[in-house]
Amino acid sequence: MADKTGPTAYTYDVTLRNGPFREPDAPALSYDFFVNRKGWLIPRAMRVWVDIKSELELFQHQILGVSGGSPGQQLKLTQFLTRKIAEQKAQLVLEEGRMEKSSEVLVKGFAETDVHLVPRLEAWMREVKDQVREEIRTQIGL
């Protein structure tokens, strides 16, 4: 995943490092990313939470309309969709230039901390729904 931001047009290299993790005391899964760009000596860290109630359920049930399957298929589906959401949330945060201001960034559920980004995340979900449905069909069998 690469990103071009505002007037400075930085290009970021974003690599998934770990995840998903279940966040304690929160209905969320999280992923860790390393973010790097030319000129930085070391990559910076970004932990992205995916809120299960407001982000995963919106994408899975309301936009994609995907349900059913075996417990294994449901686990794969949750991991697949939360990773997609986390990658897009990372992209949106990079577009805001937050990695320029800090060496570590925590991105919680957009409905909680970044409510101004919810419309952009939902627009992305609607834009990629046909592509994601096809990936679910071929990779997970639903």
What pLDDT, on a 0 to 100 scale, did the predictor assign at position 8?
A: 52
What pLDDT, on a 0 to 100 scale, did the predictor assign at position 9?
A: 63
What pLDDT, on a 0 to 100 scale, did the predictor assign at position 5?
A: 43
Residue 99: C-alpha distances to residues 12, 26, 29, 50 (Å): 10, 24, 21, 19
What pLDDT, on a 0 to 100 scale, did the predictor assign at position 112?
A: 73
- pTM of the full structure: 0.91
State the residue range of the domain holding 27. 12-139
Q: Per the domain annotation, does 1 fall within a domain?
A: no
Q: Per the domain annotation, does 96 fall within a domain?
A: yes
Q: Per the domain annotation, does 6 fall within a domain?
A: no
Q: Which of 110, 88, 96, 105 is nearest to 28 (CA)?
A: 110
Query: d(Cα 97, Cα 78) in Å, to the nearest integer?
Result: 29
In the predicted model, residues of the chain with pLDDT beneath 50 are: 3-7
What pLDDT, on a 0 to 100 scale, did the predictor assign at position 7?
A: 42
Q: Per the domain annotation, does 16 fall within a domain?
A: yes
If one counts the domains in the chain, the total is 1
What pLDDT, on a 0 to 100 scale, did the predictor assign at position 101?
A: 85
What pLDDT, on a 0 to 100 scale, did the predictor assign at position 113?
A: 78
